[in-house]
Structure formats: C-alpha cells, structure tokens
C-alpha cells in the first residue's frame, strides 16, 4: 500500500479550475518533484497535502489515514517555504525548537533533538545566532531543520531554493537530497527548475494547466517525453516537422531527406505531418561518428556555452541544434559550412499531442 495517495483530486477557485482530476500514489521514502511553469497547479497540490487548501473533490491519505478532516497542525507534516519564514526575534536554537515546544516536548528532549538537527545541517556552531546574522543558504538550512525536528511523516518543500544564487542552490539541493535519504522521509518538492528536479528526484510529475502530463523517473521524463509539452519543457530539444512518406515502413522526409524511424508511426497516411524530437547531445558531426541515420545541411549559427558548443544547421524548414563538447583543440564549423549530423534512428522520437 502506498504511503501518500492523492485520489481524483480537483481544485477550483470559483469558475477557475486549477487542478483537474489528479491521481498519484507515493511510496514511503520517495522523493517526488512537481515540475512545471507558473500557474500549472503544482503549489496548489502541495498546499492541499499540507491542509492549507481544501480539495474541491477527491481524497488525500497518509499512511492509510484520510486527511480531509484534519487541520494543518494535525497532519504531522513538515513544510519549508520559498521565503525562509524564520522568526527574526528567535535564535537558531529557538527556531528549530519551536515545533517541539508547541507539541509539548520536554526540555531535555528538545535540547537533544535540536542538537541532532543542527548537527545534521552542519550549523551546530551557530545555535545562538539570529536569522539576520546568517546567509540565505544558512537560513534555509535552519528552516529545513525546523521542519524536520518534530519528525514529520511527510516533508513538503515549496521552491525552497529559488531565492538563492546558483552555486548555493546546487550545493543545498544536494544536501537536502542527502538528508532526505539519511532520514528516509517521504518528500514532495515543488520547483520550476528542471535541473533541480532531474538531479535529485526519484520520480517527477510534469504539471501542465492543472494536469499531470507525465509521471516518471528523471530518465523516463528526459528520454521518453509522453507529450509535446513535456518534450519542449524538459531539457533542450529539437522539435522537427516531418512528412510521412511510407507509413508501413516508418519512412518520413525532413526537408528533402528521407529517414526511417525506429518507433512505429501508428495510424497516419502518406503526406501527413508528424512532429519528431531530437536531443542536441544525440548527434555528432565528427568524422567516423557512429549512427544509422544522417541529416545534412548548412551551419546557420554557433553558440559557446562553456562546456559545450551548440551549433545549428538548417534541414529544409527545420533548424536542428547539436552539441559538441568543448576542448582546447576543437575547431567548430563556420557559418555556411555544410555538415552531416549522424545519430541513431532510436534517438528520433515521435511527439504526440
């Protein structure tokens, strides 16, 4: 039996439907990320789990217990917000101890648990400081420790890293994942940053206009997008329009160049248009590059991105980008050069609406 289940969850604000018939079963100890653009419903689902919003329809259960009639403080849930929400007049120690005091824990128990939590986030030497005396990353660690101190059943993280600079975000997300694995706590993480979701999640929910377009592992989401939205939202992707040449043989044309797909075309006819997806890292123009499929065209742009150089060629009406790993001896093709991009047919995915 799943630990956290959301069954036929709907949420409307007046005539506006924010979440449409959402279903998900989350196992104990899983790290789940909700990923999507602003207004897609991901934070609303998180708030319904926390009890800050009431579903218009559907049920939420934790460890087999229906949460519908429970107030937020009765659900044994820890929550970390985008804004640190620390009490400015309390020390780090008192901030972490707050939930324990509310729960009626004894002084000795509080001291032991706070010490344990501050050790977990490596801030035990700052117990007597106030929030204004700490960096943003340190404050967010304290907020995490405060949420974990009462030993919640579920940890909810609402874009907790969005206010931090890039390097601190990377280190803190890794720290959050490590702590989550150490404690084995079921965690739901909301973000609009795809790199965050891909790097630390067991599974990802791609939200689109109040619906889950796809639920899967980071590998599945990235390599096998289920819809056009997922394909375009996660990672950098070439979306290529192709004409069906021979449906039975899975043959299509991109520009004037024929390609045989590995994936079945399905119920289409010759002359129909289909959308294909190709990741920039899938192809290579290196001499002797392996691949059973090739597209040739002139280079129209090159962009230096640090570790990679992204080059774009034109094939018919489809601009196609591909990545080359940067190295001191690399000479990227010049604009106007004609190059051949080689890749395997399995890398060319059919994108269905």
Q: What local confidence, expressed as pLDDT, does residue 224 receive?
A: 86
Q: What local confidence, expressed as pLDDT, does residue 330 receive?
A: 82
In the numeric block, which tokens belong to residue 334?
């010049």
In the numeric block, which tokens belong to residue 7?
């069954």
Q: What does the DSSP 8-state code read for residue 62?
A: E
Classify the C-alpha dihedral 255-256-262-268 as positive or negative: positive
Local confidence band at 71 (pLDDT 50, 70, 90 cut-offs): very high
Local confidence band at 88 (pLDDT 50, 70, 90 cut-offs): very high
Q: What local confidence, expressed as pLDDT, does residue 189 receive?
A: 97
> CB-based burial of residue 78 (10 Å sphere; 0-12 exposed, 13-18 middle, 19+ buried)?
buried
Contact 200, 189 (CB under 8 A): yes
> Are both 223 and 240 inside the same structural domain?
no
DSSP-based helix, strand, coil % in the chain, nearest 5: 30, 35, 35
> Are both 208 and 345 inside the same structural domain?
no
Residue 323 has pLDDT above 70, yes or no: yes
Residue 1 has pLDDT above 80, yes or no: no
Residue 54 lies in domain: 4-227
- Which of these, 343, 245, 254, lies nearest to 293 by C-alpha position? 343
DSSP per residue, 285-329: -STT---SEEEEEEEEEEEE-SSEEEEEEEETTEEEEEEEE--TT
| Percent of the chain whose predicted confidence (pLDDT) is above 90 | 76
> Are both 250 and 222 inside the same structural domain?
no
Average predicted confidence (pLDDT) for the chain: 92
Local confidence band at 243 (pLDDT 50, 70, 90 cut-offs): very high
Q: What local confidence, expressed as pLDDT, does residue 345 receive?
A: 92
Map tokens 């289409």 to a residue.
268
Domain with residue 323: its CATH number is: 2.40.50.100
- Which of these, 246, 243, 265, lies nearest to 256 by C-alpha position? 243
Domain with residue 59: its CATH number is: 3.40.50.300
Q: What local confidence, expressed as pLDDT, does residue 288 receive?
A: 80
Contact 268, 247 (CB under 8 A): yes
> Are both 33 and 127 inside the same structural domain?
yes
> pTM to 2 decimals?
0.88
């Amino acid at each position: 039996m799943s630990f956290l289940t959301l069954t036929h969850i709907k949420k409307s604000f007046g005539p506006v439907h924010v979440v449409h018939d959402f279903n998900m079963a989350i196992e104990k100890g899983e790290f789940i990320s909700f990923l999507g653009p602003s207004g897609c419903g991901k934070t609303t689902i998180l708030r319904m789990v926390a009890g800050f919003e009431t579903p218009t329809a559907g049920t939420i259960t934790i460890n087999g217990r229906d949460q519908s009639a429970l107030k937020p403080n009765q659900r044994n849930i820890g929550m970390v917000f985008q804004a640190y929400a620390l009490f400015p007049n309390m020390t780090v120690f008192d901030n972490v101890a707050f939930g324990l005091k509310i729960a009626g824990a004894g002084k000795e128990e509080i001291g032991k648990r706070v010490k344990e939590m501050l050790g977990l986030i490596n801030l035990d030497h700052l117990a007597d400081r106030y929030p204004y005396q700490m960096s943003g990353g340190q404050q967010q660690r304290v907020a995490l420790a405060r949420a974990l101190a009462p030993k919640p059943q579920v940890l909810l993280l609402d874009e907790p890293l969005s206010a931090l600079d890039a390097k601190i975000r990377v280190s803190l997300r890794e720290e959050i994942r490590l702590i989550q694995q150490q404690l084995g706590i079921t965690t739901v993480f909301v973000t609009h940053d795809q790199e965050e979701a891909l790097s630390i999640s067991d599974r990802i929910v791609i939200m689109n206009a109040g619906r889950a377009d796809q639920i899967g592992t980071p590998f599945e989401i990235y390599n096998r997008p289920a819809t056009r939205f997922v394909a375009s939202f996660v990672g950098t992707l070439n979306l290529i329009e192709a004409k069906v040449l021979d449906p039975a043989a899975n043959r299509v044309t991109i520009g004037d160049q024929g390609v045989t797909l590995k994936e079945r075309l399905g119920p289409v006819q010759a002359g129909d248009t289909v959308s294909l997806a190709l990741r920039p890292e899938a192809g290579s123009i290196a001499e002797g590059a392996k691949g059973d499929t090739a597209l040739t065209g002139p280079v129209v742009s090159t962009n230096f991105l640090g570790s990679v150089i992204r080059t774009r060629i034109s094939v018919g009406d489809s601009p196609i980008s591909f990545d080359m790993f940067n190295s001191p001896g690399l000479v990227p093709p010049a604009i106007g050069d004609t190059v051949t991009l080689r890749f395997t047919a399995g890398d060319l995915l059919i994108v269905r609406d």
